[in-house]
Structure 1
Amino acid sequence: MIRREGWGKKIRDTKKLLYRGEPAAVLAVENQEYTDYRMAVRCMRYDADEYERQIKEIMSRHKAQEGISYFGEEDRILPVLTIVLYYGKEEWKRPRTIHDMLDFSRGRVFRVKIPDYPLQVLSVRNDINIELFRTELREVMGILQRVDDKAAMRRFFAENREAFSKMTERGFEVIVCSTNSRKLRRYIMKNTEGGHVNMCKAFDEWMEDCRMEGKALGIRIGEERGQKRGEKRGVKKGEARLSQLILKLGAEGRAADILRVAEDASLRNRLYRKYGL
């Protein structure tokens, strides 16, 4: 999955030939977890590189067959379609085309002269109907769409337990990366056999662990709150005892002792016992 990388990357995330009896098009996928404001230029460059690769292949074929390297009038290359598969939470707003990246403020006439280049962005969370899939991609995409809602994720698992029980390691790897959970990875590895993952069992263990963590966190928060309340009550009780002691000392005209008890804990405690405070 591509996050934020430099300009050096020229290798496609995924590239496949689409057949209609014979090769009909090149389909490519670029995975994005974040909005990349260079994406229109990146995809345009990737597509141009693919067209150049096809041209060189045709020229090499002519040289092998005819002894001369050329690209002729009748030669054709396959169209290329690049889809940006976007996994992020926030809406991908811009860029949607190469024009979104160009500054036409001092040359508006060029807007109609310079060809635009649209991006094909598909949001995993919002644009994909998982029911169109007939492989484990349905379950993978279903989890990605619910990754921020554990209750919805739990329901999805419950409704598709049989499919998850047969998930491959490749499928679980995508889920682990998208949920960013080391614990889920550990549970899945523990429940992997013969290249298949018993995702249901792993998920049950993971959710139980999350539940226990939440319970422990609740207990800890409760203890901390109780401690703070106890400390506050203790401070108030101490202040009340000291006030009563000061009043008794004042009534007996012992002004000097009032100053001493404020600084001398030992004297203060002896006087507390003396006056039954």
Structure 2
Amino acid sequence: MGQKDTVTKDYIRNAEVFADAFNYLFYGGEKVIIPESLHELDSTATTIIHDDSLNAELIQRYRDSLKYMTVMEKNDAVYVILGIENQSHVHYAMSVKNMLYDAMEYANQVRKTSVRYRKEKSTGNTKSEKNNSGKTSSGEFLTGFSRSDELIPVVTLVIYFGTEAWDGPRNLYEMFGVENKKILPFVPDYRINLIAPEEMSEQEINRFHTDLREVLLYIKYSKEKEKLVDLIQTDDGFQNMKTETVVMLNTLTNSKLKFNEEKEETSMCLAIDELREEAKQEGIEFGRRELIEKMLMNHETMDKIKEYTGYTQEKIDEIAKELSAR
């Protein structure tokens, strides 16, 4: 597992961040889910598949974070299983990945129910649904799942911590090369629930209440250093951040934010000078690239371009290649 995946996986396991993410998804940011209502589940997804010869194959996958939540509806407790998959890079088969995770979770619920019934039967304490004759139906016997049994809903959320736009498919249909309107209605679609900061407005990001808000804002503007400097200077949320969050931002965006390892919180004011210098260098870089483009268009000699820009032949050739590809 890469360093980016490691730091984001640890981050989203935090119950407050986890609840904040799903409050945004379900309730538009309203604080309905409280961290105390979330309970950690084993994130290892395992299921067993049997072929026609009854040979068993174990399939195992590892989710980034999985919790179950209890909510009250009309004085009844309702259980929901919530999963988060963090992505530092675009996953172009995310719909298939999530569909497999969720299907394995449902299959596991059915298997556990079947195992429970077998255990009850062996102890003579069976509680399975009976048909009108008082016996277990053949369908219930074969599946190990009765008419009255219910599955717990599973919702998977993808949080994209990348600095580039998410340009991957967002549902199964987008992955098909088939557009036949006679066929597709019979193919179940599977869409992903996605949080991607690059495409979100500040108003949307402001619906988060933990430092996930600052993380998403920083990633959104990580390539606009002047905007980032202004944001850190004027936004109270950046005045003091958890040091571990600052470390994560450095890892995700290749930043060099200064922090004190001995303190739990870090003032982002320490990072202002560094970001200002980066913004200055970006401006100089942009100006030089424009100058190279103009000089190339005017067919200036390479020696003159090197003299005016201070760049090496190799760097100028690299920029010229990028410009010609536009």
> Normalising by the residue count of structure 1, what TM-score does the alignment of the two structures yield?
0.62
Q: Distance in 2 between matches of 1:58 and 1:196?
A: 46
Deviation (angstroms), 1:36: 2.5
Q: 1:104 aligns with which of 178, 196, 202?
A: 178
Q: Distance in 2 between matches of 1:85 and 1:73?
A: 36
Tell me the residue number matched to 1:235. Answer: none
Deviation (angstroms), 1:63: 4.7
Note the residue ranges of structure 1 that are not aligned, 5 or more in a row.
219-223, 230-277
Q: Secondary structure at the match of 2:149?
A: coil
Deviation (angstroms), 1:74: 1.4
- Going from structure 1 to structure 2, the CA distance change for 1:64 and 1:157 (only over 3 Å counts) comes to farther
> 2:84 matched to 1:15?
no
* Cα contact 1:12–1:28 (8 A) shared by 2: yes
Deviation (angstroms), 1:108: 6.2
Q: What is the percentage of aligned positions where both structures have the same residue? A: 25
Q: Distance in 1 between matches of 2:93 and 2:266?
A: 38
Q: Which has the higher contact order (CA 8 A, sep 6+)?
A: 2
> 2:275 matched to 1:207?
yes
> 2:80 matched to 1:25?
yes
* Cα contact 1:165–1:199 (8 A) shared by 2: yes
> Normalising by the residue count of structure 2, what TM-score does the alignment of the two structures yield?
0.54
Q: Distance in 2 between matches of 1:27 and 1:90?
A: 26
Deviation (angstroms), 1:46: 1.0
* Cα contact 1:86–1:124 (8 A) shared by 2: yes
Tell me the residue number matched to 1:81. Answer: 155
Residue type of the alignment partner of 1:154: V
Q: Secondary structure at the match of 1:132?
A: coil
Deviation (angstroms), 1:124: 1.6
- Going from structure 1 to structure 2, the CA distance change for 1:160 and 1:114 (only over 3 Å counts) comes to same
> 2:206 matched to 1:131?
yes
Residue type of the alignment partner of 2:254: N
* Cα contact 1:30–1:85 (8 A) shared by 2: yes
1:61-103 C-alpha deviation (Å, 9 max, x unpaired): 4455554793322111211122222344554455232122234
Kindly indicate which of the two structures has a greater share of residues assigned to helix: 1
Deviation (angstroms), 1:131: 1.7
Aligned residues: 214
Tell me the residue number matched to 1:196. Answer: 265
- Going from structure 1 to structure 2, the CA distance change for 1:54 and 1:206 (only over 3 Å counts) comes to farther
Residue type of the alignment partner of 1:122: I
Note the residue ranges of structure 2 that are not aligned, 5 or more in a row.
7-58, 127-143, 287-302, 309-326
Bigger Rg over Cα:
1
- Going from structure 1 to structure 2, the CA distance change for 1:102 and 1:217 (only over 3 Å counts) comes to closer
Residue type of the alignment partner of 1:204: I
Residue type of the alignment partner of 2:193: Q
* Cα contact 1:192–1:198 (8 A) shared by 2: no
Q: Secondary structure at the match of 1:57?
A: helix
Q: Secondary structure at the match of 1:20?
A: strand
Tell me the residue number matched to 2:109. Answer: 54
Q: 1:164 aligns with which of 238, 258, 264?
A: 238
Tell me the residue number matched to 2:137. Answer: none
